[in-house]
Amino acid sequence: MQINKNSNGLLSIYFTAGYPTLNSTIEIAKTLEQSGVDFLEIGFPYSDPVADGPTIQHSSEVALKNGMTLKVLFDQLKDLRKHVKIPVYLMGYFNPVLQFGVENFCKACREVGVNGTIIPDLPIYEYEELYKPIFEENKISNIFLVTPQTSEERIRKIDSLTTNFIYLLSSNATTGKHLEVKNQSEDYFNRIKQMNLTNPFIIGFGISNKETFEKATAYANGAIVGTAFVKILAQNNPLRLIPDFIGDLKK
Amino acid sequence: MSKYQVNDKGYYGPFGGAYIPEMLYPNVEELQNRYLQIMEEPSFKEEFEQLLTDYVGRPSPLYHAQRLSKKYNARIFLKREDLNHTGAHKINNTIGQILLAERLGKKRIIAETGAGQHGVATATVCALKGLECVVYMGEIDIQRQAPNVARMKMMGATVVAAQSGSKTLKDATNEALRDWINNPVDTHYIIGSVVGPHPYPDLVARFQSIISKETKIQLLSKTGKSTPDVVMACVGGGSNAAGMFYHFLDDEDVKLIAVEAAGHGVHSGESAATTLLGKEGVLHGSRSILMQTTDGQVVEPYSISAGLDYPGIGPQHAWLFKSGRGKYVSATDDEAMQAGLELTKLEGIIPAIESSHALAYLQKMNFSGDETVVVCLSGRGDKDLDNYMKYFNL
């Protein structure tokens, strides 16, 4: 599966690696693919996740207590491509990547077959100045975020740096706030659509159910569900709940 | 341009920058683009200086501590930031930032606080200007620092408990950043130290630089020379030290001594000696030196002094440390408490436990008798009476 400008109604799911249990990562990924999810974002936990609301903060805390680290995650993902065919992105904060070594990180991503990364606190300037060649050598797409406050000039810049898709935030918010598609956000989504960007865009943050998923995908090539799915993982025996949760979203 | 000051990209050597999610970019960019220009406006300068004089009570005295001098065999001066309104140097920064926030058209102020000193200083300037104020404070710190919580409430601030992570200063900072993400238009975040994304480390250092600016003038009139041999200050995030060092950075003959909190001992596992224990990393928007695990998870620091138990230091300090311009040392809880009691007995001044860390290093300096030394007495000890009482069974 390729995410491109003609993609329509793609569903991506975010979940935190190492949550609810240390070794649940691959099982969850497999079940999501079998349930019809189009691509995955696997979060690697950090002690200070400033862009996240309480649900994902909690999952990160539990994952860290369970012993999740980048090293453990890459070990778990060693046979990723035997089990999972859909695109997989790693999402997390910059400091663990810096300690792992940016080059080691990109190489490890490439070796296990990860398609790209989303590192919200690695800004464009630092990416370009310090790290872009390392990502490119390893063919790892680094995905940038756009918010309703991002200027047109900056969106164009992001579009030019992007090799995969642009991650459009539904609102200026931390994760887990409910999306309310008001006139304001419709204007914003339309504004982006009319910019005729080179890259496809996917809407994330605040997508929690069929209604918000449909609203988002009316404008974007796809949408990402994070917090609402992490809440499913908090329940008993979550794997059995996944097919229905995904089915309800895509019905 | 001094090689120890921030460059036009927001870096001090390899440290600094603005490692922030896109959601914070417009607010931070606005500050980056406008802070210097606003600080240069005559009306800003005039109001800032007037408030520092009439409201804060500046200039703060430079006091020649004679009995302390005799004990340590040097001519020791104390820069009396403890005499400022609200009891510490923190107010220099909050006055500056509230004037900046007004000129940026912001209606709502947020801040983080550990022990509550910066929270009180922020609530104070918000009362002064009639602006809404929300202070994030770790749930555990709220319990430990009830008088400061009461002060903030009396001044009309809302104190919100940070319940994530370790429920202390680091998490209060995370909560403040999350608030700023969710309120991207009308809110200004008054960071309390020389940390955070560019331009905060520079912005806060500039507002605190009044400390060394006055010191130079006062030294000249007291000693005939505007530079001392040694300048000493405690470092948590590092704002009083940044202000105390600021106008001496390019006088390479002036020794800069920064004293971190070693808690129960540097290698006890309960310490906040960041430069000794930390590694290069990114936290709260800047690249600096950080106490962390090998996996890059931030480690919770410890010090008896709530103002020093921060797991990082400002990027300028990281650069002064790495370049060798500053000497970064540490003092334990016990050394600081003894130094605090000693100053009280010798000079009749009860220092904040933070400032006591700077004083505690005097005994390790082995002065030869003719050095001129300035110690930044960053805050007064009223807030620490409970700690002093427990520690010395008073």
Q: Do B241 and B195 share a structural domain?
A: no
Active site residue ranges of A: 41, 52
Residue B61 lies in a domain: yes
Interface test with A, best of B11, B15, B22, B136 (most A CBs within 10 A): B22
What is the band of B27 on the pLDDT scale with cuts at 50, 70, 90?
very high
Dist CA A55 CA A49 (whole Å): 11
Q: Do B154 and B25 share a structural domain?
A: yes
Residue B268 lies in a domain: yes
If you compute the radius of gyration of chain B from its CA atoms, what whole number of angstroms results?
A: 19
Res. B168: pLDDT tops 90: no
Which of B204, B239, B261 finishes a domain?
B204
Distance of CA A103 to the CA centre of its chain: 21
A69 vs B contacts (CB less than 8 Å): 295
Residue B7 lies in a domain: no
Please report the pLDDT score of residue A191 as a whole number. 92
Q: Do B383 and B258 share a structural domain?
A: yes
Nearest residue, CB atoms, A51 vs list B18, B181, B290:
B181
Report angle CA B86, B88, B93 to the nearest 5 degrees: 90
Average pLDDT over chain A, rounded to an integer: 94
For the record, the structure tokens of A39 come out as 């691509």
Which of B204, B237, B256 finishes a domain?
B204
Please report the pLDDT score of residue B140 as a whole number. 85
Nearest residue, CB atoms, A123 vs list B19, B178, B185:
B19
Q: Do B229 and B199 share a structural domain?
A: no
Residue B98 lies in a domain: yes
Query: Strand ranges (DSSP E) for B173-301?
Result: 187-189, 230-234, 255-261, 279-283, 286-290
Interface of A with B (CB under 8 A): 46-51, 53-54, 57, 61, 64, 69-71, 93-100, 120-123, 125-126, 144-147, 149-151, 154, 169, 172-174, 177
Nearest residue, CB atoms, A121 vs list B185, B282, B297:
B282
What is the band of A181 on the pLDDT scale with cuts at 50, 70, 90?
low
Q: Which residue of A has its CA nearest to B162?
A: A54
Which of B204, B220, B244 finishes a domain?
B204
- CATH number for the domain that contains residue B23: 3.40.50.1100
Res. B287: pLDDT tops 90: yes
Q: Report the pLDDT averaged over residues A139-161.
A: 95
Residue B10 lies in a domain: no
Please report the pLDDT score of residue A2 as a whole number. 78
Please report the pLDDT score of residue A183 as a whole number. 62
Q: Report the pLDDT averaged over residues B251-259.
A: 98
Residue B41 lies in a domain: yes
Domains: count for chain B: 2
Q: Do B336 and B257 share a structural domain?
A: yes
For residue range B293-329, list pLDDT tens digits in order: 999 999 999 999 988 989 999 999 999 999 999 999 9
Average pLDDT over chain B, rounded to an integer: 96
Phi then psi for A187, rounded to 5 degrees?
A: -60, -45
Q: Does domain A10-250 have CATH number 3.20.20.70?
A: yes
Give the 3-state secondary structure of B51-75: HHHHHHCCCCCEEECHHHHHHHCCE
Q: Do B160 and B83 share a structural domain?
A: no
Residue B24 lies in a domain: yes
Nearest to A230 by CA among A51, A80, A42: A42
Nearest to B240 by CA among B59, B93, B39: B93
Q: Do B255 and B171 share a structural domain?
A: no
For residue range A207-244, list pLDDT tens digits in order: 999 999 999 999 999 999 999 999 999 999 999 999 99
Q: Report the pLDDT averaged over residues B76-96.
A: 98
**Higher pLDDT pick, A177 / A183:** A177
**Least reliable range by pLDDT among B147-156, B166-175, B313-322:** B166-175
Dist CA B74 CA B66 (whole Å): 9
Q: Do B250 and B189 share a structural domain?
A: no
Domains in chain A: boundaries: 10-250
Please report the pLDDT score of residue A173 as a whole number. 86
Residue B270 lies in a domain: yes
Please report the pLDDT score of residue A187 as a whole number. 87
Q: Do B339 and B283 share a structural domain?
A: yes
Please report the pLDDT score of residue A180 as a whole number. 66
Interface of B with A (CB under 8 A): 9, 17-23, 25-26, 164-165, 170-171, 174, 177-178, 181-182, 184-185, 279-285, 290, 292, 294-298
As for the ipTM of the complex, it is 0.94
Please report the pLDDT score of residue A1 as a whole number. 67
Q: Show the domain range for B172.
A: 19-51+90-204
- Please answer whether residues A205 and A169 qualify as being in contact, where contact means their C-beta atoms are separated by less than 8 angstroms: yes
Integer CA distances (angstroms), A44 to A16, A25, A159, B190, in order: 6, 11, 25, 30
Q: Do B316 and B292 share a structural domain?
A: yes
A61 vs B contacts (CB less than 8 Å): 164-165
Query: Strand ranges (DSSP E) for chain A?
Result: 10-16, 39-43, 88-91, 116-118, 141-143, 145-146, 166-169, 201-204, 222-225
